[in-house]
């Protein structure tokens, strides 16, 4: 039964058996642009790429590096090297300098 179904054309099931259909097209497809395609695409995409790159660079500069530089400047504005050295010496970090209590 199943093998006999495979031998029947699909037109029979669609109700098109014995009818002939012709498809006429008055429009033809446009020819693909083969010559100069890379140049055309580059003229379109290159300014967009440069614009997005500049936007990303500006965002990173003003969103990350400038606040980071300001944080370092604020840290070192009040940084006391002598006080930091004395606290590390008392903690016993240095091998060449002993804590003051010993």
Is pLDDT at 88 greater than 70 in this prediction?
yes
**In whole angstroms, what is the distance from residue 53 CA to residue 59 CA?**
10
Q: Are 78 and 85 in contact (CB under 8 A)?
A: no
pTM over 0.85: no
DSSP reduced 3-state for 22 = coil
* Residue 21 pLDDT exceeds 90: no
pLDDT band at 16 (very low <50, low <70, confident <90, very high): low
Residue whose token pair is 């033809």: 28
Distance, CA of 69 to CA of 66 (rounded, Å): 5
- Distance set, CA 41 to CA 30, 31, 32 (Å): 18, 17, 14
């Amino acid at each position: 039964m199943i093998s006999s179904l495979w031998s029947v054309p699909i037109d029979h099931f669609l109700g098109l058996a014995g009818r002939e259909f012709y498809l006429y097209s008055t429009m033809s497809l446009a020819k693909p642009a083969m010559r100069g395609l890379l140049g055309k695409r580059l003229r379109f995409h290159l300014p967009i790429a440069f614009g997005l790159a500049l936007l990303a660079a500006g965002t990173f500069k003003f969103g990350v590096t400038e606040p980071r530089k300001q944080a370092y400047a604020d840290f070192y504005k009040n940084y006391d090297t002598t006080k930091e050295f004395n606290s590390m010496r008392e903690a016993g970090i240095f091998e060449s300098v002993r804590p003051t209590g010993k």
